[in-house]
Amino acid sequence: MKFKEAPIPKRFYWLVLNTLGFQKAKWESQFRSGYWDQDERSSRTVKLVESLCRGGKIVEFGCGTGTLPGSLAPGTFSHYHGIDRSKEAIRRARANVQMPYVSFECCQMQDWQPSPASLILAEECLYYLTTEEQRAFLAKCLLAIGSTGAIAVMVHSAKRHRRTVETFKECVPKCEMSPFGHRFLMIGRA
């Protein structure tokens, strides 16, 4: 993911917010500043989503400003639903993405109410949950994908996010894990 370099005072402010337990305020400030703006999605992520979704419904967690649907080939999805914890990200996604069958929601991952999906994508966000929250979230994902869908989770380091990788292995009956460029990919099925 490409991001804009922020000035040192702003990065220090975000560090203080995070250290004091104000993660949501940090995210809102970062989205307002344009820190997470990206012009395009990784070609690896786009190809992965196109191969896994095959015309069904995509639910993306950590959707940010909603760049994924516009990056996908026509026919990749029948509906895209982007979810992010940042109100500012969702506001910007709704303003920037004017496509049929695309919706956005501001929601914490652990508060999500599942509905049937062909693909659930959680790119660089599952590790923000506690182990118990990860277990509960993955159980909801398995219900949502049924017997034919998939869950794709990406982390920037399997070593650094070992707890998340182990929880995924424990909770998802059929899982494949592999390096994904400079990151680590986990794909699961019920």
Give residue-wise pLDDT tens across range 53-62.
989 999 999 9
Q: Lowest mean pLDDT of 9-23, 33-47, 69-83, 108-122, name the range.
A: 9-23
pLDDT for the residue 136: 98
Distance, CA of 36 to CA of 102 (rounded, Å): 20
Counts of helices then strands in the chain (DSSP H, E)? 7, 7
Instruction: Spell out the domains of the chain, with CATH numbers in brackets.
Output: 1-37 (no CATH), 43-189 (3.40.50.150)
Give residue-wise pLDDT tens across range 25-51.
665 666 566 665 665 668 899 999 999
pTM comes to 0.84
Residue type for position 53: C
